[in-house]
């Protein structure tokens, strides 16, 4: 009886522009591709310069500069990661449309996150947030000044009800890294006065813990080699995840898309974690 040959891993796609955040994303994506034994595809946007109002003497040098920029980035990654298969793509559409198109044939999409001030945290519409909301594959958003972590640092994942995709991604990522998983469940009370009732708090804490253990056990059956610990917190989900991620390698959350008129397009929890975390955050579609 013959067995099918193992399938080759799909590429890690990274969006690159000239910002420091994008450069951090490129470095992270290259290291991730090495871990996965996957090819790296570096994509940068080339838009607007093919319109008739641009003369060739303007468009041609800018096009050459874009080609040089992305090829130099690829050469740098090849030099720093021996044996890494690196390719480039010069996208002719807008960055969001181009990266979503390239993600169709990828396993992971990586983009950078610039430093944000308090006002910008409230604003939607950035390239990274549009990609997180609409990408068909997990999106890693890498902060500009993400701290260095140990190679086997934990992978922290938010474990929500009936969502297996974030847990599966976190376990697979941890297996690749030789790292443990920390599965986090946060809970709160709709009536704040119930918090004064110790018995009610203990009962709900125990119920949440049992449900988390059930979710983790199901994931561990699919990834038996991965060590896992659990945390159940009486807190907001984003606060619990940020606290648990101290010293971790990355944070994994699910994409809870909202279809209501006033809801955030990716859900409140991933939206807040993306802006508060100092670590790379992977948002997994479900």
Distance CA 282, CA 17 (A): 20
Q: How many domains does the chain have?
A: 2
Domain boundary pick from 80, 115, 143: 143
Q: According to the 3-state scheme, what is the secondary structure of 49-67?
A: CCCCCCCHHHHHHHHHHHH
**Reported confidence tier of residue 146, pLDDT bands at 50, 70, 90:** confident
Domain boundary pick from 83, 112, 143: 143
Tell me the C-alpha to C-alpha distance, in Å, between residue 227 and each of 180, 219, 251.
Answer: 5, 11, 16
47 and 72, same domain (yes or no): yes
Residue 15 is predicted with a pLDDT of 95
46 and 70, same domain (yes or no): yes
Domain boundary pick from 143, 166, 183: 143
183 and 265, same domain (yes or no): yes
For residue range 60-99, list pLDDT tens digits in order: 777 788 899 999 999 999 999 999 999 999 998 889 999 9
264 belongs to a structural domain: yes
Task: Count the neighbouring beta carbons within 10 Å of the beta carbon of residue 17.
Answer: 15
Residue 132 is predicted with a pLDDT of 92
92 and 170, same domain (yes or no): no
Beta strands 281-284; 139-143: pairing state = antiparallel
> Which residue segment(s) compose the domain that 113 sits in?
11-143
Q: What is the mean pLDDT of residues 19-25?
A: 91
Mean pLDDT taken over the chain: 85
75 and 100, same domain (yes or no): yes
79 and 111, same domain (yes or no): yes
For residue range 199-245, list pLDDT tens digits in order: 767 777 788 889 899 999 999 999 999 999 999 988 889 999 999 99
Check which CATH number belongs to the domain holding 209 and give it: 3.40.50.620
Residue 57 is predicted with a pLDDT of 59
184 and 279, same domain (yes or no): yes
Residue 271 is predicted with a pLDDT of 87
Strands (E), 121-264: 139-143, 155-158, 181-187, 228-234, 250-254
61 and 136, same domain (yes or no): yes
49 and 163, same domain (yes or no): no
Distance CA 11, CA 266 (A): 24
Enter the pTM of the model. Answer: 0.87
| Spatial contact of 285 and 278, defined as CB atoms under 8 Å apart | no
């Amino acid at each position: 009886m013959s067995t099918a040959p193992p399938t080759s891993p799909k590429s890690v796609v990274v969006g690159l522009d000239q910002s420091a955040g994008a450069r951090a994303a490129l470095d992270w994506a290259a290291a991730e591709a090495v871990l996965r034994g996957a090819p790296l595809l570096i994509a940068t946007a080339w838009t607007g310069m093919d319109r008739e109002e641009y003369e060739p003497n303007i468009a041609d040098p800018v096009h050459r500069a874009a080609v040089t920029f992305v090829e130099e980035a690829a050469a740098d990654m090849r030099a720093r990661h021996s044996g890494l298969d690196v390719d480039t793509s010069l996208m002719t559409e807008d960055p969001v449309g181009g990266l979503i198109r390239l993600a169709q044939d990828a396993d992971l999409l990586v983009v950078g996150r610039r430093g944000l001030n308090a006002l910008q945290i409230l604003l939607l519409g950035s390239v990274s947030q549009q990609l997180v909301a609409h990408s068909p594959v997990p999106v890693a958003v890498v902060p500009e000044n993400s701290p260095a972590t140990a190679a086997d640092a934990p992978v922290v994942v938010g474990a929500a009800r009936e969502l297996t995709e974030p847990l599966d991604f976190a376990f697979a990522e941890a297996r690749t890294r030789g790292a443990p998983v920390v599965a986090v469940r946060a809970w709160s009370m709709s009536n704040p006065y119930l918090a004064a009732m110790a018995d009610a708090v203990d009962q709900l804490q125990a119920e949440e813990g049992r449900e988390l253990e059930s979710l983790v056990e199901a994931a561990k059956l699919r990834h038996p080699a991965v060590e896992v610990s659990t945390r159940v917190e009486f807190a907001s989900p984003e606060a619990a995840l940020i606290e648990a991620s101290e010293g971790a390698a990355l944070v994994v959350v699910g994409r809870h898309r909202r279809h209501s008129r006033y809801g955030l397009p990716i859900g409140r929890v991933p939206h807040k974690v993306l802006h508060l975390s100092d670590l790379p955050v992977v948002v997994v579609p479900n």
